[in-house]
Structure 1
Amino acid sequence: MQRELQLRVVSGIVLALIVLVATWYGGLAFSVLSAVIGLLIYREWSKITRLAANEPVANAVGWIGQAAIAVAVVSGTVGYSLILLLLFLAIAVGFVVMRGVSRWFPVGTVYAGLTGIALANIRGADPAGLHAMLFVFAVVWATDVLAYFVGRAIGGPKLAPKISPGKTWSGAIGGAVCAVAAGMLVAYVEFPNAVPLAGFVALVLSVFSQSGDLFESFIKRRFGVKDSSRLIPGHGGVMDRVDGLIFACFAAFLLAGLFSLIKGEQMASLGAALFGA
Protein backbone atom coordinates (compact mmCIF):
# COMPACT_ATOMS: atom_id res chain seq x y z
CA MET A 1 0.00 0.00 0.00
CA GLN A 2 2.84 2.38 0.84
CA ARG A 3 4.50 1.74 -2.52
CA GLU A 4 1.21 2.27 -4.35
CA LEU A 5 0.71 5.60 -2.55
CA GLN A 6 4.24 6.73 -3.43
CA LEU A 7 3.67 5.75 -7.05
CA ARG A 8 0.41 7.70 -7.09
CA VAL A 9 2.04 10.81 -5.64
CA VAL A 10 5.02 10.74 -7.99
CA SER A 11 2.94 10.15 -11.13
CA GLY A 12 0.51 12.87 -10.01
CA ILE A 13 3.34 15.38 -9.62
CA VAL A 14 4.82 14.48 -13.00
CA LEU A 15 1.44 14.86 -14.70
CA ALA A 16 0.77 18.18 -13.01
CA LEU A 17 4.17 19.53 -14.11
CA ILE A 18 3.60 18.46 -17.71
CA VAL A 19 0.16 20.07 -17.84
CA LEU A 20 1.23 23.29 -16.11
CA VAL A 21 4.34 23.76 -18.27
CA ALA A 22 2.33 23.16 -21.46
CA THR A 23 -0.37 25.53 -20.19
CA TRP A 24 2.22 28.22 -19.46
CA TYR A 25 3.76 28.03 -22.94
CA GLY A 26 0.46 27.56 -24.77
CA GLY A 27 0.48 27.57 -28.57
CA LEU A 28 1.99 24.46 -30.12
CA ALA A 29 2.96 22.89 -26.77
CA PHE A 30 -0.58 22.95 -25.42
CA SER A 31 -2.12 22.05 -28.78
CA VAL A 32 0.02 18.91 -28.93
CA LEU A 33 -0.95 18.05 -25.35
CA SER A 34 -4.64 18.58 -26.19
CA ALA A 35 -4.38 16.39 -29.29
CA VAL A 36 -2.61 13.62 -27.36
CA ILE A 37 -5.26 13.71 -24.62
CA GLY A 38 -7.99 13.38 -27.24
CA LEU A 39 -6.26 10.39 -28.85
CA LEU A 40 -5.68 8.66 -25.51
CA ILE A 41 -9.32 9.18 -24.57
CA TYR A 42 -10.43 7.54 -27.82
CA ARG A 43 -8.08 4.63 -27.13
CA GLU A 44 -9.60 4.10 -23.70
CA TRP A 45 -13.15 4.64 -24.95
CA SER A 46 -12.79 2.08 -27.74
CA LYS A 47 -11.51 -0.51 -25.26
CA ILE A 48 -14.08 0.19 -22.53
CA THR A 49 -17.01 0.01 -24.97
CA ARG A 50 -15.41 -3.03 -26.69
CA LEU A 51 -15.46 -1.27 -30.06
CA ALA A 52 -11.83 -2.27 -30.66
CA ALA A 53 -12.61 -5.95 -30.01
CA ASN A 54 -16.04 -6.25 -31.62
CA GLU A 55 -15.96 -3.74 -34.49
CA PRO A 56 -12.40 -3.52 -35.88
CA VAL A 57 -13.42 -1.81 -39.14
CA ALA A 58 -15.45 0.88 -37.40
CA ASN A 59 -12.68 1.30 -34.85
CA ALA A 60 -10.10 1.77 -37.62
CA VAL A 61 -12.29 4.47 -39.19
CA GLY A 62 -12.62 6.05 -35.76
CA TRP A 63 -8.85 6.17 -35.39
CA ILE A 64 -8.48 7.80 -38.80
CA GLY A 65 -11.00 10.43 -37.76
CA GLN A 66 -9.32 11.12 -34.43
CA ALA A 67 -5.90 11.34 -36.10
CA ALA A 68 -7.23 13.84 -38.64
CA ILE A 69 -8.82 15.92 -35.88
CA ALA A 70 -5.57 15.79 -33.88
CA VAL A 71 -3.60 17.13 -36.86
CA ALA A 72 -6.10 19.97 -37.28
CA VAL A 73 -5.90 20.75 -33.55
CA VAL A 74 -2.08 20.90 -33.64
CA SER A 75 -2.17 23.13 -36.72
CA GLY A 76 -4.45 25.54 -34.86
CA THR A 77 -7.36 25.43 -37.33
CA VAL A 78 -10.43 25.20 -35.11
CA GLY A 79 -12.79 25.54 -38.07
CA TYR A 80 -11.29 22.57 -39.92
CA SER A 81 -11.17 20.49 -36.76
CA LEU A 82 -14.89 21.07 -36.17
CA ILE A 83 -15.68 20.21 -39.80
CA LEU A 84 -13.69 16.99 -39.47
CA LEU A 85 -15.47 16.18 -36.21
CA LEU A 86 -18.88 16.61 -37.86
CA LEU A 87 -17.76 14.59 -40.89
CA PHE A 88 -16.57 11.61 -38.87
CA LEU A 89 -19.58 11.87 -36.55
CA ALA A 90 -21.78 11.49 -39.64
CA ILE A 91 -19.70 8.49 -40.74
CA ALA A 92 -19.99 6.95 -37.26
CA VAL A 93 -23.77 7.42 -37.29
CA GLY A 94 -23.79 5.79 -40.73
CA PHE A 95 -22.02 2.75 -39.27
CA VAL A 96 -24.69 2.54 -36.56
CA VAL A 97 -27.58 2.80 -39.02
CA MET A 98 -26.19 0.72 -41.88
CA ARG A 99 -24.10 -1.89 -40.06
CA GLY A 100 -25.62 -2.07 -36.60
CA VAL A 101 -22.44 -0.88 -34.87
CA SER A 102 -22.78 0.11 -31.21
CA ARG A 103 -24.26 3.55 -30.62
CA TRP A 104 -21.28 4.23 -28.35
CA PHE A 105 -19.14 4.65 -31.49
CA PRO A 106 -20.52 8.11 -32.47
CA VAL A 107 -20.65 9.12 -28.79
CA GLY A 108 -16.95 8.29 -28.43
CA THR A 109 -16.16 10.16 -31.64
CA VAL A 110 -17.54 13.37 -30.16
CA TYR A 111 -16.27 12.72 -26.63
CA ALA A 112 -12.65 12.26 -27.71
CA GLY A 113 -12.57 14.62 -30.69
CA LEU A 114 -14.23 17.58 -29.01
CA THR A 115 -11.94 17.20 -26.00
CA GLY A 116 -8.83 18.08 -27.99
CA ILE A 117 -10.61 20.85 -29.89
CA ALA A 118 -12.05 22.49 -26.78
CA LEU A 119 -8.86 22.30 -24.73
CA ALA A 120 -6.69 23.77 -27.47
CA ASN A 121 -9.14 26.56 -28.26
CA ILE A 122 -9.56 27.64 -24.64
CA ARG A 123 -5.81 28.01 -24.14
CA GLY A 124 -4.88 29.35 -27.56
CA ALA A 125 -1.60 31.22 -27.83
CA ASP A 126 -2.27 34.55 -26.12
CA PRO A 127 -2.19 35.72 -22.47
CA ALA A 128 -6.00 35.75 -22.32
CA GLY A 129 -5.93 32.04 -23.11
CA LEU A 130 -3.53 31.34 -20.26
CA HIS A 131 -5.79 33.19 -17.83
CA ALA A 132 -8.89 31.46 -19.18
CA MET A 133 -7.29 28.02 -18.85
CA LEU A 134 -6.24 28.78 -15.28
CA PHE A 135 -9.81 29.91 -14.62
CA VAL A 136 -11.14 26.56 -15.88
CA PHE A 137 -8.58 24.61 -13.85
CA ALA A 138 -9.48 26.55 -10.71
CA VAL A 139 -13.19 25.90 -11.17
CA VAL A 140 -12.76 22.18 -11.86
CA TRP A 141 -10.26 21.59 -9.06
CA ALA A 142 -12.37 23.52 -6.55
CA THR A 143 -15.40 21.51 -7.60
CA ASP A 144 -13.61 18.16 -7.22
CA VAL A 145 -11.83 18.86 -3.95
CA LEU A 146 -14.58 20.68 -2.09
CA ALA A 147 -17.36 18.37 -3.31
CA TYR A 148 -15.43 15.49 -1.75
CA PHE A 149 -14.76 17.18 1.58
CA VAL A 150 -18.17 18.83 1.94
CA GLY A 151 -19.89 15.60 1.01
CA ARG A 152 -17.85 13.67 3.58
CA ALA A 153 -18.48 16.26 6.28
CA ILE A 154 -22.22 16.79 5.75
CA GLY A 155 -23.43 13.67 3.98
CA GLY A 156 -27.14 13.47 3.31
CA PRO A 157 -29.13 12.33 0.25
CA LYS A 158 -27.22 10.68 -2.57
CA LEU A 159 -26.83 12.56 -5.84
CA ALA A 160 -26.96 9.53 -8.14
CA PRO A 161 -26.84 6.34 -6.06
CA LYS A 162 -27.09 3.95 -9.01
CA ILE A 163 -24.19 5.61 -10.82
CA SER A 164 -21.85 6.87 -8.11
CA PRO A 165 -23.00 5.89 -4.59
CA GLY A 166 -20.41 8.08 -2.85
CA LYS A 167 -21.64 11.40 -4.23
CA THR A 168 -24.16 13.49 -2.28
CA TRP A 169 -26.27 16.54 -2.99
CA SER A 170 -24.45 18.39 -0.20
CA GLY A 171 -21.13 17.67 -1.87
CA ALA A 172 -22.43 18.75 -5.28
CA ILE A 173 -23.78 22.03 -3.91
CA GLY A 174 -20.67 22.64 -1.80
CA GLY A 175 -18.43 21.99 -4.78
CA ALA A 176 -20.44 24.37 -6.97
CA VAL A 177 -20.38 27.15 -4.36
CA CYS A 178 -16.62 26.81 -3.90
CA ALA A 179 -16.14 26.69 -7.67
CA VAL A 180 -17.98 30.00 -8.03
CA ALA A 181 -15.79 31.51 -5.30
CA ALA A 182 -12.62 30.20 -6.96
CA GLY A 183 -13.70 31.41 -10.39
CA MET A 184 -14.55 34.88 -9.13
CA LEU A 185 -11.22 35.07 -7.29
CA VAL A 186 -9.30 34.24 -10.47
CA ALA A 187 -11.44 36.71 -12.41
CA TYR A 188 -10.76 39.41 -9.81
CA VAL A 189 -7.04 39.01 -10.54
CA GLU A 190 -7.16 38.37 -14.28
CA PHE A 191 -10.51 39.78 -15.51
CA PRO A 192 -11.43 42.51 -12.96
CA ASN A 193 -14.20 43.94 -15.15
CA ALA A 194 -16.02 40.63 -15.47
CA VAL A 195 -16.24 39.23 -11.94
CA PRO A 196 -20.08 38.77 -11.84
CA LEU A 197 -20.06 37.14 -15.28
CA ALA A 198 -17.18 34.92 -14.16
CA GLY A 199 -19.30 33.73 -11.24
CA PHE A 200 -22.07 32.67 -13.60
CA VAL A 201 -19.62 30.94 -15.96
CA ALA A 202 -17.96 29.18 -13.03
CA LEU A 203 -21.33 27.83 -11.88
CA VAL A 204 -22.09 26.49 -15.36
CA LEU A 205 -18.64 24.89 -15.63
CA SER A 206 -18.98 23.35 -12.16
CA VAL A 207 -22.31 21.75 -13.06
CA PHE A 208 -20.84 20.39 -16.28
CA SER A 209 -17.74 19.19 -14.46
CA GLN A 210 -19.81 17.15 -12.02
CA SER A 211 -21.92 15.86 -14.90
CA GLY A 212 -18.75 14.71 -16.64
CA ASP A 213 -17.68 12.83 -13.54
CA LEU A 214 -21.07 11.10 -13.36
CA PHE A 215 -20.98 10.34 -17.09
CA GLU A 216 -17.68 8.51 -16.84
CA SER A 217 -18.89 6.63 -13.75
CA PHE A 218 -21.97 5.57 -15.73
CA ILE A 219 -19.86 4.35 -18.65
CA LYS A 220 -17.57 2.32 -16.41
CA ARG A 221 -20.53 0.77 -14.57
CA ARG A 222 -22.29 0.09 -17.86
CA PHE A 223 -19.33 -1.92 -19.14
CA GLY A 224 -18.14 -3.32 -15.82
CA VAL A 225 -14.69 -1.74 -15.58
CA LYS A 226 -12.99 -0.18 -12.57
CA ASP A 227 -10.52 2.12 -14.35
CA SER A 228 -10.51 3.41 -17.91
CA SER A 229 -6.98 1.96 -18.31
CA ARG A 230 -3.74 1.43 -16.40
CA LEU A 231 -1.80 4.08 -18.28
CA ILE A 232 -1.10 6.33 -15.28
CA PRO A 233 0.52 4.51 -12.35
CA GLY A 234 -1.69 4.72 -9.28
CA HIS A 235 -4.34 6.80 -11.07
CA GLY A 236 -5.89 4.58 -13.73
CA GLY A 237 -6.44 6.09 -17.15
CA VAL A 238 -6.67 9.50 -18.76
CA MET A 239 -10.47 9.47 -18.63
CA ASP A 240 -10.31 8.80 -14.90
CA ARG A 241 -8.21 11.93 -14.37
CA VAL A 242 -9.92 14.42 -16.71
CA ASP A 243 -13.58 13.35 -16.75
CA GLY A 244 -14.80 16.54 -15.06
CA LEU A 245 -12.38 18.75 -16.99
CA ILE A 246 -13.64 17.35 -20.30
CA PHE A 247 -17.25 18.39 -19.75
CA ALA A 248 -16.21 21.73 -18.26
CA CYS A 249 -14.15 22.44 -21.38
CA PHE A 250 -17.10 21.44 -23.57
CA ALA A 251 -19.22 24.00 -21.73
CA ALA A 252 -16.51 26.69 -21.92
CA PHE A 253 -16.03 26.08 -25.64
CA LEU A 254 -19.77 26.28 -26.34
CA LEU A 255 -20.15 29.42 -24.21
CA ALA A 256 -17.27 31.06 -26.07
CA GLY A 257 -18.92 30.22 -29.38
CA LEU A 258 -22.28 31.54 -28.16
CA PHE A 259 -20.80 34.81 -26.90
CA SER A 260 -18.84 35.26 -30.14
CA LEU A 261 -22.04 34.75 -32.11
CA ILE A 262 -23.93 37.27 -29.96
CA LYS A 263 -21.15 39.82 -30.46
CA GLY A 264 -21.06 39.12 -34.21
CA GLU A 265 -17.39 38.18 -34.04
CA GLN A 266 -15.36 35.23 -35.25
CA MET A 267 -14.97 32.30 -32.88
CA ALA A 268 -12.75 33.58 -30.08
CA SER A 269 -11.01 32.02 -27.10
CA LEU A 270 -12.82 31.74 -23.78
CA GLY A 271 -10.98 34.69 -22.31
CA ALA A 272 -11.63 36.94 -25.29
CA ALA A 273 -15.24 35.91 -25.88
CA LEU A 274 -16.55 35.82 -22.33
CA PHE A 275 -14.41 38.28 -20.44
CA GLY A 276 -13.44 40.74 -23.17
CA ALA A 277 -9.75 40.00 -22.60
Structure 2
Amino acid sequence: MSRELTLRVYSAIVMVIVVLAATWFGGLAFRILAGAIGLLVYYEWSSMTKLAERSMRGHAFGWLSLAAIVANMLFGAPDLTVPLFAGLALTAVLPALTGHWSWWQPGGIFYSGLSAIALSAIRGDDQLGLAAMIFVFAVVWSTDILAYFVGRAIGGPKLAPRISPGKTWSGAIGGTVAGVLGGTAVALSFFQSIDLWVPFLAFFLSVSGQIGDLFESFIKRRFGVKDSSHLIPGHGGVMDRVDALVFACFAAFFLAIGFSAVGMGAVDSLGAFFFGF
Protein backbone atom coordinates (compact mmCIF):
# COMPACT_ATOMS: atom_id res chain seq x y z
CA MET A 1 0.00 0.00 0.00
CA SER A 2 1.41 3.39 -1.01
CA ARG A 3 2.08 6.07 1.59
CA GLU A 4 -0.65 8.32 0.12
CA LEU A 5 -3.24 5.54 0.22
CA THR A 6 -2.22 4.67 3.79
CA LEU A 7 -2.69 8.29 4.85
CA ARG A 8 -6.05 8.37 3.10
CA VAL A 9 -7.28 5.23 4.88
CA TYR A 10 -6.09 6.36 8.32
CA SER A 11 -7.57 9.83 7.84
CA ALA A 12 -10.89 8.32 6.79
CA ILE A 13 -10.98 6.07 9.87
CA VAL A 14 -10.29 9.01 12.19
CA MET A 15 -12.93 11.17 10.49
CA VAL A 16 -15.58 8.46 10.68
CA ILE A 17 -14.88 7.81 14.38
CA VAL A 18 -15.01 11.52 15.28
CA VAL A 19 -18.15 12.24 13.26
CA LEU A 20 -20.10 9.20 14.43
CA ALA A 21 -19.07 9.68 18.07
CA ALA A 22 -20.16 13.34 18.03
CA THR A 23 -23.38 12.35 16.27
CA TRP A 24 -24.13 9.68 18.86
CA PHE A 25 -23.61 12.02 21.83
CA GLY A 26 -25.32 14.99 20.18
CA GLY A 27 -25.82 18.18 22.17
CA LEU A 28 -22.68 20.20 22.82
CA ALA A 29 -20.40 17.54 21.33
CA PHE A 30 -22.10 17.74 17.94
CA ARG A 31 -22.42 21.53 18.08
CA ILE A 32 -18.64 21.71 18.59
CA LEU A 33 -18.15 19.50 15.52
CA ALA A 34 -20.60 21.62 13.49
CA GLY A 35 -18.93 24.84 14.64
CA ALA A 36 -15.49 23.50 13.74
CA ILE A 37 -16.75 22.54 10.28
CA GLY A 38 -18.17 26.04 9.79
CA LEU A 39 -14.90 27.72 10.80
CA LEU A 40 -12.75 25.42 8.66
CA VAL A 41 -15.06 25.86 5.68
CA TYR A 42 -14.74 29.63 6.00
CA TYR A 43 -10.94 29.29 6.17
CA GLU A 44 -10.91 27.28 2.95
CA TRP A 45 -13.47 29.47 1.20
CA SER A 46 -11.53 32.64 2.06
CA SER A 47 -8.25 31.04 0.97
CA MET A 48 -9.60 29.84 -2.39
CA THR A 49 -11.34 33.13 -3.17
CA LYS A 50 -8.43 35.24 -1.83
CA LEU A 51 -10.65 37.37 0.40
CA ALA A 52 -7.71 38.78 2.39
CA GLU A 53 -6.20 40.17 -0.83
CA ARG A 54 -9.49 41.73 -1.87
CA SER A 55 -10.23 43.45 1.44
CA MET A 56 -8.57 42.92 4.82
CA ARG A 57 -11.53 44.63 6.53
CA GLY A 58 -13.99 42.33 4.82
CA HIS A 59 -11.85 39.32 5.65
CA ALA A 60 -11.63 40.34 9.32
CA PHE A 61 -15.40 40.94 9.42
CA GLY A 62 -15.91 37.47 8.02
CA TRP A 63 -13.84 35.84 10.75
CA LEU A 64 -15.55 37.88 13.46
CA SER A 65 -18.93 36.92 12.02
CA LEU A 66 -18.14 33.21 12.02
CA ALA A 67 -16.70 33.43 15.52
CA ALA A 68 -19.85 35.18 16.77
CA ILE A 69 -22.18 32.67 15.08
CA VAL A 70 -20.31 29.65 16.43
CA ALA A 71 -19.92 31.15 19.92
CA ASN A 72 -23.65 31.86 20.14
CA MET A 73 -24.44 28.41 18.79
CA LEU A 74 -22.29 26.81 21.49
CA PHE A 75 -22.84 29.02 24.52
CA GLY A 76 -25.49 31.63 23.73
CA ALA A 77 -29.23 31.67 23.16
CA PRO A 78 -30.13 29.10 20.46
CA ASP A 79 -33.11 31.17 19.26
CA LEU A 80 -30.78 34.06 18.42
CA THR A 81 -28.37 32.08 16.22
CA VAL A 82 -30.34 32.36 12.97
CA PRO A 83 -31.20 36.08 13.39
CA LEU A 84 -27.55 36.79 14.25
CA PHE A 85 -26.38 34.84 11.19
CA ALA A 86 -28.88 36.61 8.91
CA GLY A 87 -27.93 40.03 10.27
CA LEU A 88 -24.19 39.48 9.79
CA ALA A 89 -24.62 38.05 6.28
CA LEU A 90 -26.84 40.98 5.24
CA THR A 91 -24.38 43.46 6.76
CA ALA A 92 -21.65 42.00 4.53
CA VAL A 93 -23.91 42.47 1.50
CA LEU A 94 -23.91 46.28 1.89
CA PRO A 95 -20.17 46.82 1.16
CA ALA A 96 -20.46 44.29 -1.68
CA LEU A 97 -23.26 46.37 -3.23
CA THR A 98 -21.02 49.45 -3.20
CA GLY A 99 -18.07 47.55 -4.65
CA HIS A 100 -15.86 47.84 -1.57
CA TRP A 101 -15.97 44.10 -0.86
CA SER A 102 -16.14 41.14 -3.17
CA TRP A 103 -19.44 39.26 -3.41
CA TRP A 104 -17.45 36.22 -2.35
CA GLN A 105 -17.29 37.80 1.12
CA PRO A 106 -21.00 37.63 2.04
CA GLY A 107 -21.12 34.36 0.12
CA GLY A 108 -18.46 32.90 2.41
CA ILE A 109 -20.26 34.03 5.56
CA PHE A 110 -23.52 32.59 4.27
CA TYR A 111 -22.08 29.24 3.12
CA SER A 112 -19.90 28.54 6.15
CA GLY A 113 -22.26 29.97 8.76
CA LEU A 114 -25.22 28.04 7.41
CA SER A 115 -23.11 24.88 7.27
CA ALA A 116 -22.65 25.00 11.04
CA ILE A 117 -26.23 26.05 11.78
CA ALA A 118 -27.95 23.50 9.54
CA LEU A 119 -25.85 20.59 10.77
CA SER A 120 -26.48 21.54 14.40
CA ALA A 121 -30.22 22.06 13.82
CA ILE A 122 -30.70 18.64 12.24
CA ARG A 123 -28.89 16.72 14.99
CA GLY A 124 -30.44 18.66 17.86
CA ASP A 125 -30.46 17.03 21.30
CA ASP A 126 -32.97 14.19 21.04
CA GLN A 127 -33.30 10.72 19.51
CA LEU A 128 -35.27 12.03 16.55
CA GLY A 129 -32.32 14.30 15.81
CA LEU A 130 -29.99 11.31 15.90
CA ALA A 131 -32.24 9.44 13.46
CA ALA A 132 -32.45 12.50 11.20
CA MET A 133 -28.67 13.00 11.12
CA ILE A 134 -27.96 9.33 10.38
CA PHE A 135 -30.66 9.53 7.69
CA VAL A 136 -28.86 12.47 6.03
CA PHE A 137 -25.50 10.69 6.27
CA ALA A 138 -26.99 7.57 4.66
CA VAL A 139 -28.53 9.56 1.80
CA VAL A 140 -25.37 11.56 1.07
CA TRP A 141 -22.86 8.73 1.47
CA SER A 142 -24.96 6.26 -0.53
CA THR A 143 -25.33 8.84 -3.27
CA ASP A 144 -21.60 9.62 -3.39
CA ILE A 145 -20.46 5.99 -3.42
CA LEU A 146 -22.93 4.65 -5.99
CA ALA A 147 -22.62 7.72 -8.23
CA TYR A 148 -18.89 7.02 -8.47
CA PHE A 149 -19.19 3.30 -9.20
CA VAL A 150 -22.21 3.52 -11.50
CA GLY A 151 -20.64 6.41 -13.40
CA ARG A 152 -17.41 4.45 -13.93
CA ALA A 153 -19.24 1.26 -14.88
CA ILE A 154 -21.78 2.74 -17.30
CA GLY A 155 -20.34 6.09 -18.36
CA GLY A 156 -22.39 7.95 -20.94
CA PRO A 157 -23.29 11.63 -21.30
CA LYS A 158 -21.57 14.07 -18.96
CA LEU A 159 -23.63 15.74 -16.27
CA ALA A 160 -21.81 19.11 -16.25
CA PRO A 161 -18.68 18.84 -18.43
CA ARG A 162 -17.60 22.45 -17.96
CA ILE A 163 -17.72 22.20 -14.18
CA SER A 164 -16.87 18.59 -13.36
CA PRO A 165 -15.92 16.53 -16.44
CA GLY A 166 -15.85 13.23 -14.52
CA LYS A 167 -19.52 13.22 -13.54
CA THR A 168 -22.11 11.50 -15.72
CA TRP A 169 -25.89 11.35 -15.87
CA SER A 170 -25.74 7.61 -15.25
CA GLY A 171 -23.76 8.20 -12.06
CA ALA A 172 -26.15 10.94 -10.93
CA ILE A 173 -29.21 8.74 -11.48
CA GLY A 174 -27.58 5.69 -9.90
CA GLY A 175 -26.47 7.79 -6.93
CA THR A 176 -29.95 9.23 -6.47
CA VAL A 177 -31.54 5.77 -6.46
CA ALA A 178 -28.96 4.61 -3.92
CA GLY A 179 -29.58 7.68 -1.78
CA VAL A 180 -33.32 7.04 -1.68
CA LEU A 181 -32.82 3.37 -0.82
CA GLY A 182 -30.14 4.12 1.77
CA GLY A 183 -32.16 6.83 3.48
CA THR A 184 -35.33 4.74 3.48
CA ALA A 185 -33.46 1.74 4.94
CA VAL A 186 -32.07 3.87 7.77
CA ALA A 187 -35.51 5.34 8.51
CA LEU A 188 -37.01 1.84 8.69
CA SER A 189 -34.22 0.77 11.06
CA PHE A 190 -35.35 3.48 13.50
CA PHE A 191 -39.13 3.21 13.00
CA GLN A 192 -41.49 0.31 12.38
CA SER A 193 -43.25 2.21 9.61
CA ILE A 194 -42.64 5.43 7.73
CA ASP A 195 -44.68 7.80 5.61
CA LEU A 196 -44.18 8.08 1.83
CA TRP A 197 -42.81 11.54 2.63
CA VAL A 198 -39.50 9.97 3.73
CA PRO A 199 -38.40 8.53 0.32
CA PHE A 200 -39.36 11.82 -1.34
CA LEU A 201 -37.27 13.69 1.23
CA ALA A 202 -34.36 11.31 0.56
CA PHE A 203 -34.69 12.01 -3.18
CA PHE A 204 -34.67 15.78 -2.56
CA LEU A 205 -31.63 15.60 -0.29
CA SER A 206 -29.75 13.32 -2.69
CA VAL A 207 -30.25 15.74 -5.59
CA SER A 208 -29.36 18.68 -3.35
CA GLY A 209 -26.15 16.97 -2.26
CA GLN A 210 -25.10 16.43 -5.87
CA ILE A 211 -25.76 20.10 -6.59
CA GLY A 212 -23.52 20.94 -3.63
CA ASP A 213 -20.77 18.78 -5.08
CA LEU A 214 -21.06 20.60 -8.42
CA PHE A 215 -21.11 23.97 -6.66
CA GLU A 216 -17.77 23.31 -4.97
CA SER A 217 -16.34 22.03 -8.25
CA PHE A 218 -17.44 25.32 -9.85
CA ILE A 219 -15.61 27.34 -7.17
CA LYS A 220 -12.42 25.30 -7.52
CA ARG A 221 -12.49 25.57 -11.31
CA ARG A 222 -13.27 29.31 -11.08
CA PHE A 223 -10.14 29.89 -8.96
CA GLY A 224 -7.92 27.21 -10.47
CA VAL A 225 -7.41 24.99 -7.43
CA LYS A 226 -7.46 21.20 -7.22
CA ASP A 227 -8.44 20.85 -3.55
CA SER A 228 -10.07 23.30 -1.16
CA SER A 229 -7.01 22.88 1.11
CA HIS A 230 -4.64 20.19 2.40
CA LEU A 231 -6.01 20.02 5.94
CA ILE A 232 -6.98 16.33 5.71
CA PRO A 233 -4.08 14.04 4.72
CA GLY A 234 -4.92 12.16 1.54
CA HIS A 235 -8.35 13.79 1.20
CA GLY A 236 -7.75 17.47 0.46
CA GLY A 237 -9.84 19.92 2.45
CA VAL A 238 -12.91 19.96 4.64
CA MET A 239 -15.06 21.43 1.86
CA ASP A 240 -14.02 18.54 -0.37
CA ARG A 241 -15.50 16.14 2.16
CA VAL A 242 -18.64 18.01 3.23
CA ASP A 243 -19.77 19.80 0.06
CA ALA A 244 -22.63 17.37 -0.62
CA LEU A 245 -23.46 16.97 3.07
CA VAL A 246 -23.88 20.67 3.81
CA PHE A 247 -26.02 21.29 0.72
CA ALA A 248 -28.29 18.42 1.74
CA CYS A 249 -28.51 20.00 5.20
CA PHE A 250 -29.24 23.41 3.64
CA ALA A 251 -32.08 21.84 1.67
CA ALA A 252 -33.59 20.17 4.74
CA PHE A 253 -33.22 23.34 6.81
CA PHE A 254 -34.94 25.62 4.29
CA LEU A 255 -37.58 23.02 3.47
CA ALA A 256 -38.52 22.78 7.14
CA ILE A 257 -38.63 26.56 7.50
CA GLY A 258 -40.75 26.85 4.35
CA PHE A 259 -43.32 24.29 5.48
CA SER A 260 -43.47 25.88 8.91
CA ALA A 261 -43.92 29.36 7.41
CA VAL A 262 -46.94 28.33 5.33
CA GLY A 263 -48.52 26.57 8.27
CA MET A 264 -48.08 23.01 7.02
CA GLY A 265 -46.62 21.80 10.30
CA ALA A 266 -44.82 23.24 13.29
CA VAL A 267 -41.10 22.51 13.34
CA ASP A 268 -40.14 21.95 16.96
CA SER A 269 -37.06 20.09 15.70
CA LEU A 270 -35.84 19.02 12.29
CA GLY A 271 -35.88 15.43 13.48
CA ALA A 272 -39.61 15.73 14.12
CA PHE A 273 -40.02 17.38 10.72
CA PHE A 274 -38.21 14.51 8.96
CA PHE A 275 -40.26 11.72 10.48
CA GLY A 276 -43.35 13.36 11.92
CA PHE A 277 -44.50 15.53 9.01
| Superposition TM-score, scaled by structure 1 size | 0.95
Corresponding residue of 1:241: 241
- State the distance in 2 between where 1:274 and 1:16 align: 23
How far does residue 79 in structure 1 lie from its aligned partner after superposition? 2.9
State yes or no: 1:24 paired with 2:24. yes
Output the amino acid matched with 1:231: L
Does the CA contact (< 8 Å) of 1:38 and 1:113 recur in 2? yes
SS in 1 for 2:230: coil
- State the distance in 2 between where 1:189 and 1:252 align: 20
Corresponding residue of 1:70: 70
State yes or no: 1:153 paired with 2:153. yes
How far does residue 258 in structure 1 lie from its aligned partner after superposition? 2.9
Corresponding residue of 1:103: 103
Aligned residues: 276
- State the distance in 2 between where 1:49 and 1:268 align: 37
Corresponding residue of 2:7: 7
- State the distance in 2 between where 1:98 and 1:78 align: 33
- State the distance in 1 between where 2:235 and 2:74 align: 27
SS in 2 for 1:139: helix
Output the amino acid matched with 2:114: L
- State the distance in 1 between where 2:265 and 2:134 align: 26
SS in 1 for 2:232: coil
SS in 2 for 1:194: coil
Deviates more, 1:41-50 or 1:252-261: 252-261
Corresponding residue of 1:50: 50
Output the amino acid matched with 1:67: A
- State the distance in 2 between where 1:153 and 1:76 align: 50
Deviates more, 1:73-82 or 1:28-37: 73-82
Does the CA contact (< 8 Å) of 1:176 and 1:207 recur in 2? yes
In the TM superposition, what are the counterparts of 1:128-167 in structure 2 within 5 Å? 128-167=128-167
Corresponding residue of 1:230: 230
State yes or no: 1:202 paired with 2:202. yes
How far does residue 6 in structure 1 lie from its aligned partner after superposition? 0.3
Deviates more, 1:162-171 or 1:254-263: 254-263
How far does residue 256 in structure 1 lie from its aligned partner after superposition? 2.3
- State the distance in 2 between where 1:195 and 1:147 align: 26
Corresponding residue of 2:219: 219
In the alignment, structure 2 segments of 5+ residues that lack a partner are: none
Percent identity among equivalent residues?
58
Output the amino acid matched with 2:112: A
SS in 2 for 1:225: coil
Q: Can you list the C-alpha shifts for 1:219-252, whole angstroms capped at 9, x where unaligned?
A: 0000011111111111111001100001001011
In the alignment, structure 1 segments of 5+ residues that lack a partner are: none
| Superposition TM-score, scaled by structure 2 size | 0.95
How far does residue 104 in structure 1 lie from its aligned partner after superposition? 1.0
Does the CA contact (< 8 Å) of 2:54 and 2:102 recur in 1? no
Corresponding residue of 1:82: 82
Output the amino acid matched with 2:107: V
Does the CA contact (< 8 Å) of 1:143 and 1:179 recur in 2? yes
Q: Can you list the C-alpha shifts for 1:76-118, whole angstroms capped at 9, x where unaligned?
A: 7443111111111111111112343211111111100000000
Does the CA contact (< 8 Å) of 1:118 and 1:249 recur in 2? yes
Does the CA contact (< 8 Å) of 1:42 and 1:109 recur in 2? yes
Structure 1 residues 174 and 264: alpha-carbon distance in aligned structure 2, compared to 1, 3 A threshold: closer
Q: Can you list the C-alpha shifts for 1:42-78, whole angstroms capped at 9, x where unaligned?
A: 0110110000222111000111111111012213744
Does the CA contact (< 8 Å) of 1:96 and 1:102 recur in 2? yes
State yes or no: 1:182 paired with 2:185. no
- State the distance in 2 between where 1:231 and 1:111 align: 19
Does the CA contact (< 8 Å) of 2:132 and 2:274 recur in 1? no
How far does residue 264 in structure 1 lie from its aligned partner after superposition? 5.0
State yes or no: 1:38 paired with 2:38. yes
Does the CA contact (< 8 Å) of 1:184 and 1:195 recur in 2? no
- State the distance in 2 between where 1:3 and 1:234 align: 9
SS in 1 for 2:159: strand
CA RMSD of aligned residues (A): 1.5
